[in-house]
Chain A
Amino acid sequence: MMRAPDAEAMKAIDSRLFEFADYDASAGERAGYSNYSYWRSTLGMFLAKRSSRLFLWMLGILLLFTFVQPFLPGQRDPTTIFNDPATGMQYRNVPPGGQFWLGTNSIGQDLWARIWSGTRTSLLIGLSVGLAEMLIGIAFGALWGYVRRLDRVMTEIYNVLDNIPTTVLLMLLAYIMKPSFQTMVIAMCSVGWLGLARFVRNQIVIIRDREYNLASRCLGTPTRRIIAKNLLPYLVSVIMLQTALSIPGTIGWEVFLTYIGLGLPVSIPSLGNLVNEGRMIMMSEELRYQLIFPTVLLSIITISFYVLGNAFSDASDPRNHT
């Protein structure tokens, strides 16, 4: 049964409390407040994982060092060929240690300096391609997804471009244009944005008919502002993820193109060129360090981006915000 109120305790209550309290209508309005923030929760979830903290530190230090390295004291130029002052001969294939921290390559260039210079080049390619793909992909994908009239035309354009084998196109472009940094960037951008565009388009199709977008249409908001204010902010996290994942992908393509001889000119050190050089002398055991060092760095960069991208993707899903 219902328990009767405890008589003793009831009597003890000050009877002066039995009078009307002041009433503040706005207090009730304030009561519904919750301080959940999407970005704070995303960041919290992201940093809560030990692996993402670890890789974030690693990648952060690596990036910082890559761009600071040339300004540090005692660094050598990556393209200078060093001669032994005693013999006048080039320092060929000097093993790691002492004078050359990571040794030299077959024509006497400092491998330490070359690796960091190569990382710089590759990262620059990765970042610029990632950025360009992001801009093109978002613009194309947003129009494709939101403007119904354009849907058919843009789908056709996508299909045509998507059906050209990427390898063939990259080889063709690299062949026609002179091997250079710009060539690499243009070649890889030419098809790389397609994936992101389709992705953005699908996301926009999912959210474009939500009531808040109808509300914006009723208010006469022009399409470009609906895209900028109503749609893209919902996609920021996934776009960031896609771009983060495309950077290691691009670096991988650079290595591949260099490997098949269509990459950057050998005069520009890049991770691709370094791996390629290393590959040619891979068979002799004492020279294998020339392959191992750039490969290790390449792996660290690639894995870090992937792990961080995936961790961010998990963290940015509101369903995981518990």
Chain B
Amino acid sequence: MNSTTVLEVRDLVVKFRLRGRVLTAIRGASLELYEGEALAIVGESGSGKSVFTKTFIGMLDQNGWVDSGSIDFEGRDLTRQRTEGEWMGLRGRKIAMVFQDPMTSLNPLVPVGRQIGEVLTLHKGMTKDQARSAVVELLDRVGIPEPASRSRQLPHEYSGGMRQRAVIAMAIAAGPRILICDEPTTALDVTIQAQILKLVKALQKDFGFTTIYITHDLGVVANVADRVAVMYAGKIVETGTAEEIFYDARHPYTWALLSSLPQLGVKGQNLYSIAGTPPNLFNEIKGDAFAPRNPRAQKIDFEYEPPMFEVSPTHHAATWLLDPRSPKVDPPPAIQAMRARYQGRAS
């Protein structure tokens, strides 16, 4: 893996004004994105994972703003960009996004081919004729059969999976450096999902872009990610390589996410589960946001926010369990079983 940093986020704080109150959606998140990697940001709804990546392309909702922190990309601080003009050279051109619902990116009244062609004429300065043949090539590349005639069809004539392929073609048309996929397969059937993920992986290899996946599905993460960042209540609580996260997780929230999966459960026994729900981000959070749901929380979790402890140069976790003064807490059985399987396989 290449270790050139493409994008670096430092202590990002994003707030929203909602019903006269201020909600802190991102509470100081830091992240590095390396050239050519596939990073998965995992979290539940409301963890801030979508908001986090929307700040990279200046697409926060009207009532939201970056309160502090920085996002460095190609020598620019993206949090300082204000005008649409500044964003236009970047959004879709350098950083492209694929959404869960393909119809958010497609105009239902314009043929698919023309919509992709517009990206090419706008960002790559192609003539209409050049764009037309490039579109057919792109559609063919993303696995749409009979691309020439398909390019003249309207989005509703495509099936759900094909629509998502077309959106991917549109996103990579300008040759972006970063492709953000926000729950790209959540709305699709499992068989289609597997094909789409395979496609994105292959495209990444061919075109050499860097991918950020946003998902709540750890199966998808295992499939695509080189590195994983786990988000909870607007903070990144653990980052590491996929192996480190799946076989050697350290944060109790990551444990909970993994071991509550039915795939790892034993039939007839209870799944590991955590009580309660994520905290209300309108309220000020003191200490570790996960503490109220953590049965093995320590007193310090309610007092001080845990810093990022280093587990290995690539693996960091924000939990007081990693402080040498903490009592030893064993991960849940499903996590231990995974680790044992991994070690068994390795030896």
Give the B-binding residues of A (Cβ under 8 A): 1-6, 10, 13, 15-21, 23, 25, 27-29, 31-34, 36, 41, 44, 321-322
Contact = CB atoms under 8 A, between A and B. Distances in A.
Nearest to B291: A21
A28 B308 contact: no
B37 to A, nearest CB: 16
Contact-size category for B: 35 or more
Contacts of A33: 280
Contacts of B32: 1
Given A28-B277, A41-B19, A19 B327 contact: yes
B75 to A, nearest CB: 18
B325 interface: yes
Contact of B303 (A17, A25, A34, A44): A17
Nearest to B239: A2
B191 interface: no
Contact of A18 (B276, B280, B296, B320): B320
B308 A17 contact: no
Contacts of A21: 291, 297-299, 301-302
A17 B298 contact: yes
Contacts of B292: 27-28, 31
20 contacts: A2-B308, A2-B310, A3-B308, A4-B310, A13-B304, A17-B299, A18-B325, A20-B297, A21-B298, A23-B294, A25-B275, A28-B274, A31-B276, A31-B279, A31-B280, A31-B293, A32-B277, A32-B278, A322-B17, A322-B19
Given A3-B308, A25-B276, A28-B292, A321 B298 contact: no
Nearest to B31: A2
B73 interface: no
B4 interface: no
Residue among B17, B18, B304, B325 with the highest chain A CB neighbour number at 10 A: B325
Given A18-B327, A21-B298, A322-B17, A28 B293 contact: yes
Contacts of B280: 31-34
A31 B283 CA distance: 10
Contacts of A13: 300, 304
Interface in B301-347: 301-304, 307-310, 316, 320, 323, 325-327
B159 interface: no
Interface of B: 17-20, 30, 32, 63, 274-280, 282, 291-304, 307-310, 316, 320, 323, 325-327
Contacts of B301: 21
Given A10-B323, A13-B300, A28-B276, 6 more contacts: A1-B32, A25-B276, A28-B274, A28-B275, A29-B275, A322-B20
A255 B32 CA distance: 73
A321 B300 contact: no
A36 B19 contact: yes
Contact of A20 (B20, B275, B298, B309): B298
A23 B275 CA distance: 11
Contacts of B277: 28-29, 31-32
User: Which 3 A/B pairs are nearest by Cβ-Cβ distance?
Assistant: A28-B276, A5-B307, A17-B300
B30 A2 contact: yes
B174 to A, nearest CB: 31
B300 A18 contact: yes
Contact of B298 (A18, A29, A44): A18
A20 B327 contact: yes
B323 A18 contact: yes
A15 B274 CA distance: 27
Nearest to B304: A13
B19 A23 contact: no
Contacts of A29: 275-277
B224 to A, nearest CB: 23
Contact of B309 (A5, A15, A31, A44): A5
Nearest to B297: A21
A231 B323 CA distance: 56
A21 B291 CA distance: 9
Contacts of A6: 307
A10 to B, nearest CB: 7
A36 B20 CA distance: 11
A41 B298 CA distance: 39
A306 to B, nearest CB: 27
A42 to B, nearest CB: 12
Contacts of B275: 25, 28-29
A28 B303 CA distance: 17
A34 B326 CA distance: 34
A23 to B, nearest CB: 5
A36 B30 CA distance: 32
Contacts of B316: 2
A301 B323 CA distance: 71
Contacts of B309: 5
A161 to B, nearest CB: 37
B63 A322 contact: yes
B231 to A, nearest CB: 16
Contacts of A28: 274-277, 292-293
A292 B334 CA distance: 84
Given A5-B308, A322-B17, A20 B323 contact: no
A17 B299 CA distance: 5
Nearest to A24: B292
A233 to B, nearest CB: 21
A28 B253 CA distance: 14
Contacts of B18: 322
Contacts of B297: 20-21, 23
A5 B307 CA distance: 6
Given A18-B323, A29-B275, A23 B300 contact: no
A65 to B, nearest CB: 35
Contacts of A25: 275-276, 295
B25 to A, nearest CB: 15
B301 to A, nearest CB: 7
